Homo-oligomer: A and B are copies of this chain.
Amino acid sequence: MEAEIVAVGSEMLTEDKVDTNSLYLTGQLNLLGVEVVQKAIVGDDRDRLTAVISDALRRSGIVILSGGLGPTEDDVTRDAVAAALGCGQTFQQEISDAIAARFARMGRKMAENNKRQAFLIDGAEVMPNDRGTAPGQWITAGSKIVMLLPGPPKELQAMFEHQCLPRLRKALPVKFIRTVHMRVSGMGESDVDQLIAPVYTKYTNPVTTILAGAGDIQLHLRARCDSAEQAEALLKEVSDQIADVLGDRIYTRTGQPLEATVIAALIERNETASVAESCTGGLLSQRLTATAGSSKAFAGGFITYSEAMKTQALNVPAALIEKETAVSEPVARSMAEGARNQAGTTYALSVTGYAGPGGGTETNPVGTVYIGVAFPGGCDVRRVQFLGDRERVRMLAAQTALDILRRKLRELD
């Protein structure tokens, strides 16, 4: 079964309003095995809304509307649904009385225009609103289901949960949904896709979605089956094949961010880490400390933005910086070793590079970053070349540094 969601209201077309009702509705529908295949956002325009509803009804079995059920001329959802279905509307004294009673409880008199809210589309069931004045409507028209829900999230959610869900459960076949959320580091989106497309394109169930961030690819797999066991088995079948292809590039199957994976690995090994950051300027520390409980494994770091700080805080010899420049393999090594010594940690990461827009040399242009990892008995340094603006270079450098530490902890290289 497929659903479409239509948010109604000209305020939803301004530059600071997003339709969050559809997120709640999507979550609820997915749990029932219903896919949301399209969403629309329409202003308070009767004709335009009528056309949108007609199109949605032609395509999908379920159409859910939020908003536009108020008492003013602007509220056109009832009229548009009636027009799209080719139905009339009838004034219902009972609904009007219920609205009037609600006003009375607040010590107020119902305004005349609230009577507009008492019109019921022919064939609809009224859904009382215990959190506001606008009643909802539930319509079964042939094989189609239409729901008219109020716009305020609290009203919509209460009505959906208490009145739509029980009706939907009766109307739909039972399905079970399970998901897996893998994350991959150190690969581009197209490289990941090229490797795993031969796997996931064999399956329409589970559905695989790929999301790309800076140096971080997320794979969402969602299976929808007649039993929970079936869904889980299907997910295992597909995710095992993906794991075969991507191997240790996958750092989690639970959606956990890379920094949390690193912190968890350190805690598991009862080890600690520190950092020495130049071009990332605190980004690496900030990510490592974003995880609650990170103080168990992360001692701290040194943001050595100036050359003097590298010497003062990390004992990087001034002569070495003079000879090699601050963005070089030996300085990255000295920074990592200095941080490890000063902080007394098992590991230390160092990052030094040209984030841009200024800086860079012929051999080490903007985007060049040296990343060091000091560990018991040694220190590795990697030179990486990133592309993008200052922010992107910094993000990619922090991500790569975290992945280098992850691989070191997992003894992968």
A residues bordering B, Cβ < 8 Å? 10-11, 13-20, 23-24, 26-27, 30, 35-43, 45, 48, 51-52, 55, 59, 70-74, 102, 105-108, 111-114, 131, 133, 152, 154, 188-191, 193-194, 197, 201, 207, 209-212, 220, 274-275, 277, 280-290, 292-295, 298-306, 308-309, 312-313, 342-344, 356-358, 385-392, 394
Contact = CB atoms under 8 A, between A and B. Distances in A.
Contacts of A102: 387
A399 to B, nearest CB: 14
Contacts of A211: 11, 16
A70 B197 CA distance: 14
Contact of A190 (B10, B23, B114): B114
Contacts of A275: 303
Contact of A18 (B20, B188, B274): B20
A190 B11 contact: no
Given A72-B210, A194-B111, A303 B289 contact: yes
A362 B72 CA distance: 35
Contacts of A19: 18
Given A131-B389, A282-B286, A343-B309, A191 B111 contact: yes
Nearest to A387: B106
Contact of A14 (B38, B154, B220, B299): B220
Given A16-B209, A283-B286, A313 B302 contact: yes
A184 to B, nearest CB: 15
A344 B308 contact: yes
A190 B70 contact: yes
B38 A48 contact: yes
Given A111-B194, A303-B289, A306-B295, A342 B358 contact: no
Contact of A309 (B154, B299, B385): B299
Contact of A113 (B37, B73, B193, B343): B193
A18 B11 contact: no
A48 B58 CA distance: 12
Taking the full assembly, how many copies of this chain does it contain? Answer: 2
A181 to B, nearest CB: 11
A87 B74 CA distance: 39
A218 B6 CA distance: 23
Given A111-B191, A300-B313, A26 B20 contact: no
Of all A-B residue pairs in the complex, the 3 with the closest CB atoms, nearest first, are: A281-B289, A282-B285, A282-B286
B190 A72 contact: yes
Contacts of A290: 281, 390-391, 394
A228 to B, nearest CB: 19
Contacts of A45: 37
A26 B39 contact: no
B281 A286 contact: yes
A303 B300 contact: yes
Most chain-B CB neighbours within 10 Å: which of A70, A286, A299, A388? A286
Given A305-B298, A305-B300, A385-B105, A207 B10 contact: yes
A387 to B, nearest CB: 5
Contacts of A286: 280-283, 285-286
B30 A38 contact: no
